Structure 1
Amino acid sequence: MGKNKQKRFDENKILPNVFQPTRAEALADYPLKGKWNAEVFKNDNPIVLELGCGKGEYSVGLAKAFPEKNFIGIDIKGARFWFGAKEAHETGMENVVFIRTQIELVDHFFAENEIDEIWITFPDPQIKYRRTKHRMTHPEFLARYKKFLKKDGIIHLKTDSEFLHGYTLGLLQGAGHEIITAHHDIYGAPEFDANTPLLREIQTYYEDLFSSKGKTITYIKFRLN
């Protein structure tokens, strides 16, 4: 492990906006489950999750743009989201925190109706058939999200993978979920969804990388039935 990576791991241990539960703590239902507003954010504002938050650019960018909302970035790779956590802490942002855990455990961290919105940004599309259940829009994942997402809660999927975009659209249509908006190329769309501000203005590291290689960026906004 490089010195810089180890330094980030060490600093995550003392950053007040980073939570690093053990797997056992998660499976026993995390103590903050149902208490994120009361004990962490100290307000009643809506909570938005970013699943697979990478370096945390989206979580931090949205938190800056929407101070009236609370944001939680989740990723297993703490050395990556350290960048977002460090920036948020040093700039005094109190409406964004990070959890280091596997996405498969996400429903153990939040109570029923605790979350208003979910962002899934550039997940691994898991193209091989044997990896189907690992796709973050697979029915088993959607069932996890439904446990804690409010009835009218929104899910956003932003990806460079045409495969995952098409897979998700087909799955949503087949299951009768509500597709609010779907774009095959958000930067080439002549008309755009005004209800999703900053979709093009905030870019993750991977989005910038993919766009520079000429890949189109797709987007779906939907509600679970």
Structure 2
Amino acid sequence: MRQRNKPWADDFLQEHRELVIANPKENKGKWQELFGNDNPIHLEIGTGKGQFIVGMAEQYPSINFIGIEMAKSIIVDAAIKIKESELKNLVLINVNANELEELFAENEISTIYLNFSDPWPKSRHEKRRLSYHTFLTKYEKLLPENSNLVMKTDNRLLFEYSLVSFSKHGLQLEEVSLDLHQLDDPTNVKTEYEEKFSSKGQPIYRCHVKINLTH
């Protein structure tokens, strides 16, 4: 989906560096210092317009949240939500997920969320999927043993591919739901896409994966 250009996005990001961190690589290994506490850090890769991560930060004030979003025209929407909510436990980064190892030190992240990631359905684009084995290797470097990776999607083929990819990589599947909203999980925070698709009766898939570094 083509995103509408926002000519004011650059100016907004420059004015709100406390929301969208300007030089994030300088904080590698020091993200807790930026938040001013030693609370665990949860990372969402592909934050979109920010509904999920803002909702999570509101629900869990004792956890620090970082959202990664590559598109400037989208991340500004998430930044506006943070500004309006006045949250202090959430910041954003405008980078590509390929740069994870340059952004975070080993074991610096406690949980990773992959919400409605681009499915990249063509075989030649497999390496771009966020559940491809090279990305899983990156996640393992950031996450300590027994930490969690949580994935939600409306795309059945991506979900099935990801389950196989997780298993082949030696990760432990803790929960697999083929229709998340039938679970009536009170802790589930919906993304914008999730609300859109579930309102049409489309099932939402979710899995919790445990990082097991001893495999």
Structure 2 length-normalised TM: 0.91
Deviations 1:108-157 (A, max 9, x none): 10001100000010001111100111110111000111111122210000
- Structure-1 residue corresponding to 2:75: 81
- Structure-1 residue corresponding to 2:192: 205
3-state SS in 2 of match to 1:143: helix
Q: Are residues 59 and 85 of structure 1, via their aligned partners in 2, closer, same or farther at CA, if it must alter by over 3 Å?
A: same
Return the offset for 1:174: 2.7
Aligned with 1:18 (options 1, 17, 20): 20
Deviations 1:163-185 (A, max 9, x none): 11111111222333111101011
- Structure-2 residue corresponding to 1:8: 9
The separation in 1 between residues aligned to 2:128 and 2:176, in whole angstroms, is 22
1:188 to 2:182 alignment: yes
Paired residue type of 1:219: R
1:133 to 2:127 alignment: yes
Asked whether the equivalents of residues 185 and 216 of structure 1 are also in contact (C-alpha less than 8 Å), the reply is: yes
The separation in 2 between residues aligned to 1:139 and 1:210, in whole angstroms, is 28
Deviations 1:174-203 (A, max 9, x none): 33311110101101247x6xxxx522xx22
Return the offset for 1:92: 2.1
Paired residue type of 2:21: F
Between 5-14 and 47-56, the greater mean CA deviation after superposition: 5-14
- Structure-2 residue corresponding to 1:122: 116
1:59 to 2:61 alignment: no
- Structure-2 residue corresponding to 1:178: 172
Asked whether the equivalents of residues 20 and 101 of structure 1 are also in contact (C-alpha less than 8 Å), the reply is: no
The separation in 2 between residues aligned to 1:32 and 1:176, in whole angstroms, is 30
Asked whether the equivalents of residues 9 and 79 of structure 1 are also in contact (C-alpha less than 8 Å), the reply is: no
The separation in 2 between residues aligned to 1:173 and 1:140, in whole angstroms, is 14
Asked whether the equivalents of residues 4 and 73 of structure 2 are also in contact (C-alpha less than 8 Å), the reply is: no
Q: How many residues align?
A: 209
Instruction: Give unmatched runs, 5+ long, in structure 2.
Output: none
Paired residue type of 1:77: A
Provide the alpha-carbon RMSD of the alignment.
1.9
3-state SS in 1 of match to 2:86: coil
The separation in 1 between residues aligned to 2:8 and 2:168, in whole angstroms, is 47
Q: Are residues 139 and 90 of structure 1, via their aligned partners in 2, closer, same or farther at CA, if it must alter by over 3 Å?
A: same
Indicate the structure with greater strand content. Answer: 1
3-state SS in 1 of match to 2:76: helix
The separation in 1 between residues aligned to 2:53 and 2:72, in whole angstroms, is 14
Instruction: Give unmatched runs, 5+ long, in structure 1.
Output: none
Deviations 1:23-45 (A, max 9, x none): xxx7xxx211000101x100000
Paired residue type of 1:100: N
1:215 to 2:209 alignment: no
The separation in 1 between residues aligned to 2:5 and 2:159, in whole angstroms, is 35
Paired residue type of 2:52: Y
The separation in 2 between residues aligned to 1:31 and 1:111, in whole angstroms, is 11
Q: How does 1:24-173 map to 2 (within 5 A)?
A: 30-38=25-33, 40-173=34-167
3-state SS in 1 of match to 2:27: coil
The separation in 2 between residues aligned to 1:177 and 1:122, in whole angstroms, is 20
The separation in 1 between residues aligned to 2:198 and 2:10, in whole angstroms, is 30
